[in-house]
């Protein structure tokens, strides 16, 4: 029996398998150059530029003015002001009556990555004109405006969360819904996908600020989200001490997810634990996916296979992930769906051959613990990799992965991410599942 939808499929292993329609776009967490000297110099000028460069001779009478725009981390810049503020989004300009100089910023939390930032629209913050009236308000708001962008690498699920959604939650939860989102470079399908989350954070519909031709007048403006760490929040640095668990709780409310905790007894507490296999169509595929599912089913798991893509209905897929007690997949953007796993669930990341532990650690291993998810690695050995069929045994790709790493990200990605599929050793896979099962919270005890 097979139930197929337009974006993923379920298999109960009594019938045949069909492929899902499209694969996940995945360039998850590519290593990027550090801040350039030019950017560092620009940042230094921006942060200190409000002053004249001369020491104030009367420190008692003049307090140093906080800069309008400043770096909150190496990845994020925030601009903030209050007063008479007029946002002219179609020319990416914000007029602020209290400014005494011009500022420029890009509202996307990936400043350390010039490739991503190239695609992000720049906003200019300007003082009111001295020789003419400011643009007339056409839409007045009584709440603060918050400007952010969904360009950069958004559209890749990992970057949707780590670059945009987690920073947005971190930066706007303190407004308790009384904030107007002004989204730059809005993609309608992207907003529709995450609208349930936006409605948890704001009581107002998201504005397509670059295309609505309005002059939005707000009493306060914030441009750009704060960033703490990949897929994570540092509660001691966050307003109100919020954490990534609070973010997960907000997602549960947004998408109507019922399960708060995983169990060896599955969703009912007295049934089978559910295993969700995240499938892939192109690179990093499981070559023996059917055999993996059959082995897991024989061990007592209720098995589901799903392949999310860019067009996946987020609410439906979130409910599927939330129903899982164990989720397994090869490193890729699809594992970002761990944000929907119930507390105590187990995430098994299959790490492709090629010395990629640093990459898989930053993206999914490190964030898992803060999300109350138990993390496990399954490290692919050379005999389990399709690379063995592509290169002779003495080729550098097989014998010295770190030498390939030294050639740069493009070489690493081409060799170990774009061209590699995996065929898991079933005995090793069974042992991993037994370990995962032992780590799940115990099944509930039936009432006497």
Examine the domain organization and report whether 168 and 294 are in the same domain: no
Q: Which two tokens stand for residue 333?
A: 């953007």
347 φ, ψ (degrees, to nearest 5): -105, 125
Q: Which two tokens stand for residue 288?
A: 């023996």
Examine the domain organization and report whether 358 and 427 are in the same domain: yes
The pLDDT assigned to 54 comes to 43
Examine the domain organization and report whether 79 and 174 are in the same domain: yes
CATH number at residue 275: 3.40.50.720
The pLDDT assigned to 3 comes to 36
Examine the domain organization and report whether 236 and 264 are in the same domain: no
Examine the domain organization and report whether 277 and 188 are in the same domain: no
pLDDT tens digits, the chain, 448 residues: what are they?
Answer: 333 333 444 444 433 333 322 333 333 333 333 333 334 334 333 333 333 344 444 444 445 567 899 999 999 999 999 999 999 999 999 999 999 999 999 999 999 999 999 999 999 999 999 999 999 999 999 999 999 999 999 999 999 999 999 999 999 999 999 999 999 999 999 999 999 999 999 999 999 999 999 999 999 999 999 999 999 999 999 999 999 999 999 999 999 999 999 999 998 878 999 999 999 988 999 999 999 999 999 999 999 999 887 777 899 999 999 999 999 999 999 999 999 999 999 999 999 999 999 999 999 999 999 999 999 999 999 999 999 999 999 999 999 999 999 999 999 999 999 999 999 999 999 999 999 999 999 987 544 4
- The answer to whether position 206 is within a domain reads yes
Q: Which two tokens stand for residue 54?
A: 């001369």
Q: What distance lies between CA 312 and its chain's CA centroid?
A: 16
- The answer to whether position 90 is within a domain reads yes
Provide the number of structural domains found in the chain: 2
The pLDDT assigned to 269 comes to 78
The domain boundary, picked from 206, 236, 254, lies at 254
Examine the domain organization and report whether 426 and 331 are in the same domain: yes
Instruction: Please state whether beta strands 346-351 and 326-330 pair in parallel, antiparallel, or not at all (unpaired).
Output: parallel
Examine the domain organization and report whether 264 and 246 are in the same domain: no
Contact status, residue 253 vs residue 376, Cβ threshold 8 Å? no
- The answer to whether position 133 is within a domain reads yes
Q: Which two tokens stand for residue 252?
A: 């549960």
- The answer to whether position 8 is within a domain reads no
Examine the domain organization and report whether 250 and 268 are in the same domain: no
What is the distance between the alpha carbons of residues 156 and 172, in angstroms, rounded to a whole number?
22
Examine the domain organization and report whether 396 and 432 are in the same domain: yes
Contact status, residue 76 vs residue 227, Cβ threshold 8 Å? yes
The pLDDT assigned to 63 comes to 52
Examine the domain organization and report whether 287 and 300 are in the same domain: yes
End-to-end CA distance of the chain: 37
Q: What distance lies between CA 439 and its chain's CA centroid?
A: 26
Quick one: which of 282, 240, 237 has its CA closest to 76? 237
The domain boundary, picked from 254, 281, 312, lies at 254
Quick one: which of 114, 183, 188 has its CA closest to 150? 183
CB crowding 206-230: b at 16 or more within 10 Å, else e: bbbbbeeebbbbbebbbbbbbbbbb
Hey, what's the torsion of the CAs at 365, 367, 371, 377, to 10 degrees?
0
- The answer to whether position 23 is within a domain reads no
Examine the domain organization and report whether 237 and 283 are in the same domain: no
- The answer to whether position 209 is within a domain reads yes
The pLDDT assigned to 445 comes to 55
- The answer to whether position 2 is within a domain reads no
The domain boundary, picked from 227, 254, 281, lies at 254
The CA angle 174-175-179, to the nearest 5 degrees, is 145
The CA angle 158-164-167, to the nearest 5 degrees, is 110
What is the distance between the alpha carbons of residues 430 and 428, in angstroms, rounded to a whole number?
5
| Parent domain of 120 | 68-254
Contact status, residue 48 vs residue 334, Cβ threshold 8 Å? no
DSSP 404-444: HHTT-HHHHIIIIIIS--B---HHHHHHHHHHHHHHSPPPP
Examine the domain organization and report whether 216 and 345 are in the same domain: no
Which H or E run includes 71?
Answer: strand 69-71
- The answer to whether position 39 is within a domain reads no
């Amino acid at each position: 029996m097979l139930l197929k939808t337009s974006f993923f499929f379920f298999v109960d292993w009594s019938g045949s398998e069909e492929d899902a329609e499209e694969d996940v776009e995945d360039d998850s967490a590519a290593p990027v150059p550090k801040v350039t000297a030019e950017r560092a110099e620009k940042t230094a000028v921006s942060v200190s530029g409000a002053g004249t460069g001369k020491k104030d001779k009367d420190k008692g009478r003049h307090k140093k003015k906080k800069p309008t725009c400043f770096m909150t981390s190496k990845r994020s810049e925030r601009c903030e002001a209050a007063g008479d503020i007029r946002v002219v989004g179609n020319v990416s300009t914000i007029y602020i009556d209290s400014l005494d100089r011009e500022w420029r910023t890009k509202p996307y939390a990936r400043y350390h990555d010039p490739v991503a930032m190239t695609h992000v629209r720049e906003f200019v913050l300007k003082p009111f004109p001295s020789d003419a009236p400011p643009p007339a308000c056409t839409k007045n708001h009584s709440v603060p405006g918050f400007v952010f962008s969904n360009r950069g690498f958004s559209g890749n699920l990992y970057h949707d969360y780590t670059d945009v959604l987690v920073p947005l939650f971190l930066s706007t939860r303190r407004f308790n819904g009384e904030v107007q989102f002004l989204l730059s470079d809005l993609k309608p399908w992207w907003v529709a996908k995450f609208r349930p989350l936006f409605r948890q954070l704001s009581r107002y519909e998201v504005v397509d600020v670059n295309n609505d031709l309005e002059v939005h007048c707000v009493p306060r403006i914030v441009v750009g989200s704060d960033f703490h760490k990949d897929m994570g929040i540092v509660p001691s640095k966050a307003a109100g001490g919020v954490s990534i668990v609070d973010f997960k709780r907000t997602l549960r409310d947004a998408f109507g997810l019922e399960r708060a905790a995983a169990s060896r007894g599955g969703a009912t507490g007295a049934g089978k634990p559910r295993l969700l296999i995240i499938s892939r169509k192109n690179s990093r595929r499981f070559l023996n996916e059917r055999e993996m599912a059959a082995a897991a089913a024989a061990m007592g798991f209720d098995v589901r296979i799903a392949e999310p893509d860019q067009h996946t209905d987020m609410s439906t897929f979130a409910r599927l992930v939330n129903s899982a007690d164990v989720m397994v997949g090869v490193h890729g953007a699809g594992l970002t769906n761990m944000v929907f796993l119930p507390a105590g669930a187990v995430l098994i990341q299959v790490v492709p051959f090629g010395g990629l532990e640093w990459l898989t650690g930053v993206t999914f291993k490190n964030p898992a613990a803060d999300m109350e998810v138990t993390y496990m690695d399954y490290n692919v050995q050379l005999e389990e990799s399709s690379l063995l069929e592509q290169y002779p045994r003495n080729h550098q790709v097989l014998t010295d992965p770190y030498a390939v790493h030294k050639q740069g990200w493009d070489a690493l990605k081409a060799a170990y991410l774009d061209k590699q599929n995996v065929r898991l050793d079933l005995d090793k896979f069974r042992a991993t599942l037994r370990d995962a099962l032992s780590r799940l919270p115990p099944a509930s005890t039936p009432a006497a």
